[in-house]
């Protein structure tokens, strides 16, 4: 493995000598964290965007410029500003500048269009919008539905881009903001102040704006430093989109510790490990099917020759856990969280359990309850509910949505809507979304577990499993499957694949092959659409085919 042979031992030695108070920030305010680092480590590089490196001093001065530019537009504390930007420097500068003057950042999914896009910008009361020029086509179609908007700020790589996309508002370029003074604005921001409104994916209805304070961001970042054991020697990598909070489990810990964050435009399975070798990255973020996608890449002798000591994320398939770690010479650190309660469950660093999302971390009580909010015993399925142990930890609720906020905090616990089990050692195991769980012939079925088995087939790219009404009551299992280009597999072959890996009652009755799965702009599968369509003409029926399952 060459120069990476001792990467685990070196990291352990560094963590053992690492003093937690070296990165502690009593102010817990994003702007002051950056100022403090610029004062103490001005020339240390904090962010790497491809070939552009940014030091703390450069970051601080650029943020001041943008902040003063926003103030010149009469944007003040508590004002909301939408960001519709891809992974680029301007996103971080705008976010940090808004927070420096006490304004609120509203990150928008760059794939949104039409009603969903208009709803989020207007529901958040945004008075300004900062967006890339490429998104103005989608934005222009909803201009008449944004009466509160006063300013349109375009981020354009082409200096000749026209600025007439938003009639009736002030149109200017992001470079106009950067032309302002580097002096820090004279505004005091309280750590309890609202910093971000982050919208949920809206898989079951209108998305909700999760309110996040400065202190909540600080808690997310400092806990990540602890559970992942980040130090100033780390180089953190992510290709997750900046409009998702999970991406900032990379940017934030880098800011706190003095580590460096390598930030790329998007996740690429073919490029990720080459990137990590190039910049000597020691940790990377993953979500969803990224582990499966990486495992389906053509194996090569260099797979294990990389500097990654750790990959942090969620939903790594249990059956791939050890094989992935062995092939890529790294460790997986699985966690569970949601925007409303951050990463409240994490596998203990020195006692990771494959298939589990871990135990409750410092700051949160976590338990499983039934439909009446009564605790369930170990081994039984229940809904995950979460309760912060400290003030100002977690969300304060959904913006301008009191009914949904009350439902979220029912009986003073955050109700996640996720089902899980807990073993006798206190480890939690994700089962399914509560609204997506299936029940067949008296047996509870995890769609998450069935999808993991089907998606592990070499010919399958991804799958979605839903329940459809059975003529005998309860559900029958339906699987919608997308195959890899150039691969062919029959329904019978998929049943053969499932039989030794699933309980007989969980094996799909109906199978449909599709070219793609319906998804939200945040790339979450819209299961309700597949469930509501029922049994379609393209569904193969195992029972009609006379296939008898072995029990």
CATH of region 438-541, choose from 3.40.50.80, 3.30.56.10, 3.90.850.10, 3.30.300.30: 3.30.300.30
Alpha helices in 232-375 (DSSP H): 248-257, 272-279, 290-295, 321-328
Q: Cβ(272)–Cβ(284) under 8 Å? A: yes
Q: DSSP for 35-65? A: HHHHHH-TTSEEEEETTEEEEHHHHHHHHHH
Alpha helices in 331-439 (DSSP H): 402-408
Per-residue pLDDT at 71: 97
Question: At the top level of CATH, which class does the domain 30-35+53-189 belong to?
Answer: alpha beta
Are 30-35+53-189 and 212-433 the same fold in CATH?
yes
Query: Would you write out the chain's pLDDT as a tens digit for each of its 551 residues?
Result: 557 668 999 899 889 887 766 566 667 899 999 999 999 999 999 999 989 999 999 999 999 999 999 999 999 999 999 999 999 999 999 999 999 999 999 999 887 878 888 899 999 999 999 999 988 888 888 888 899 999 999 998 877 666 666 677 888 999 999 999 999 999 999 999 999 999 986 545 578 999 999 999 999 999 999 999 999 999 999 999 999 888 999 999 999 999 999 999 999 999 999 999 999 999 999 987 789 889 989 999 999 999 999 999 998 888 889 999 999 999 999 999 999 999 999 999 999 999 999 999 988 999 999 999 999 999 998 999 999 998 889 999 999 999 999 999 999 999 998 889 999 999 999 987 777 767 776 666 778 778 888 998 999 999 999 988 877 667 889 999 999 999 999 999 999 999 888 878 889 999 999 999 988 766 778 887 888 899 999 999 998 888 877 66
| C-alpha separations of 506 from 48, 128, 329, 432, 449 in Å | 46, 50, 34, 14, 9
Q: Cβ(208)–Cβ(398) under 8 Å? A: yes
The whole-angstrom separation of Cα 133 and Cα 130 is: 10
Ranges assigned E (strand) in 325-459: 332-338, 342-346, 359-360, 364-369, 382-388, 414-422, 428-433, 438-440, 443-445
CATH superfamily of 212-433: ANL, N-terminal domain (3.40.50.12780)
Q: Where are the domains of the chain?
A: 30-35+53-189, 212-433, 438-541
Q: Cβ(208)–Cβ(199) under 8 Å? A: yes
Q: Cβ(517)–Cβ(506) under 8 Å? A: no
Per-residue pLDDT at 470: 79
Through-space distance between the first and last CA atoms of the chain, rounded to whole angstroms: 45
Give the contacts of 26 (CB within 8 A, at least 6 positions apart). Answer: none
Q: Cβ(398)–Cβ(211) under 8 Å? A: yes
Residue appearing with tokens 């029990």: 551
The whole-angstrom separation of Cα 408 and Cα 545 is: 45
Residue appearing with tokens 């945004």: 126
DSSP 287: -
Per-residue pLDDT at 20: 60
Of 46, 28, 410, nearest to 254 by C-alpha is 46
DSSP 289: T
Per-residue pLDDT at 504: 81
The backbone torsions φ and ψ at residue 516, rounded to the nearest 5 degrees and listed phi first, read -165, 160
What tokens does 277 get?
Answer: 């070798």
28: three-class secondary structure by DSSP? coil
Per-residue pLDDT at 279: 96
The whole-angstrom separation of Cα 281 and Cα 469 is: 49
Q: Cβ(173)–Cβ(154) under 8 Å? A: yes
What tokens does 373 get?
Answer: 């909010």
Per-residue pLDDT at 522: 61
């Amino acid at each position: 493995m060459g120069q990476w042979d001792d990467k685990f031992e070196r990291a352990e030695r560094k963590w053992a000598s690492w003093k937690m108070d070296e990165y502690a920030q009593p102010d817990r305010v994003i702007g002051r964290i950056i100022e403090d680092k610029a004062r103490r480590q001005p020339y240390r590089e904090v962010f790497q965007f491809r070939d552009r490196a940014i030091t703390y001093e450069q970051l601080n001065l650029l943020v001041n410029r943008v902040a003063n530019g926003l103030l010149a537009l009469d944007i003040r504390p508590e004002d909301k500003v939408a960001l519709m930007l891809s992974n680029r420097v301007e996103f971080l500068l705008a976010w940090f500048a808004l927070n420096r003057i006490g304004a609120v950042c509203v990150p928008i999914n760059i794939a949104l269009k039409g009603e969903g896009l208009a709803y989020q910008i207007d529901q958040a009361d945004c008075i300004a919008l900062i967006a890339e020029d490429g998104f103005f086509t989608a934005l222009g179609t909803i201009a008449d539905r944004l009466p509160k908007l006063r300013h349109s700020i375009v981020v354009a790589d082409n200096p000749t881009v026209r600025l007439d996309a938003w009639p009736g508002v002030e149109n200017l370029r992001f470079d106009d903001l950067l032309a302002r003074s580097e002096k820090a604005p004279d505004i005091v921001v309280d750590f309890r102040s609202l910093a971000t409104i982050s919208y949920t994916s809206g898989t079951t209805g209108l998305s909700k704006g999760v309110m996040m304070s400065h202190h909540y961001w600080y808690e997310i970042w400092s806990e990540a430093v602890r559970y992942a054991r980040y130090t100033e020697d780390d180089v953190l990598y992510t290709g997750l989109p900046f409009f998702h909070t999970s991406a900032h489990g990379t940017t934030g810990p880098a800011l706190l510790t003095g580590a460096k964050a390598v930030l790329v435009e998007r996740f690429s399975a073919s490029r990720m490990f080459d990137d990590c070798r190039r910049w000597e990255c020691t940790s990377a973020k993953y979500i969803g099917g990224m582990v499966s996608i990486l495992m389906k890449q053509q194996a090569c002798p260099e797979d294990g020759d990389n500097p990654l000591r750790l990959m942090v994320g969620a939903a790594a398939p249990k059956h791939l856990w050890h094989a992935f770690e062995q092939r890529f010479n790294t460790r997986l650190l699985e966690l569970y969280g949601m925007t409303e309660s951050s990463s409240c469950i994490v596998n203990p660093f020195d006692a990771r359990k494959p298939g589990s999302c871990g135990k409750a971390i410092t700051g949160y009580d976590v338990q499983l309850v039934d439909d009446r909010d009564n605790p369930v015993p170990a081994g039984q399925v229940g809904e995950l509910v979460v309760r912060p142990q400290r003030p100002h930890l977690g969300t304060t609720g959904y913006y301008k949505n009191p009914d949904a906020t009350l439902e979220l905090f029912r009986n003073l616990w955050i109700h996640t809507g996720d089902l899980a089990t807990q073993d006798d050692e206190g480890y939690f195991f994700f089962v399914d979304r509560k609204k997506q769980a299936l029940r067949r012939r008296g047996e509870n079925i995890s769609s998450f577990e069935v999808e993991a088995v089907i998606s592990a087939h070499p010919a399958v790219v991804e799958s979605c499993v839903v329940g459809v009404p059975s003529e005998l009551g309860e559900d029958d299992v339906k699987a919608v499957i997308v195959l890899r280009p150039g691969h062919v597999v029959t329904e019978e072959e998929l049943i053969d694949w499932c039989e030794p890996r699933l309980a007989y009652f969980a094996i799909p009755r109906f199978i449909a092959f599709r070219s793609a799965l319906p998804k939200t702009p945040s790339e979450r599968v819209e299961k309700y659409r597949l469930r509501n369509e029922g049994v379609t003409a393209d569904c193969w029926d195992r029972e009609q085919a006379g296939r008898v399952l072995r029990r």
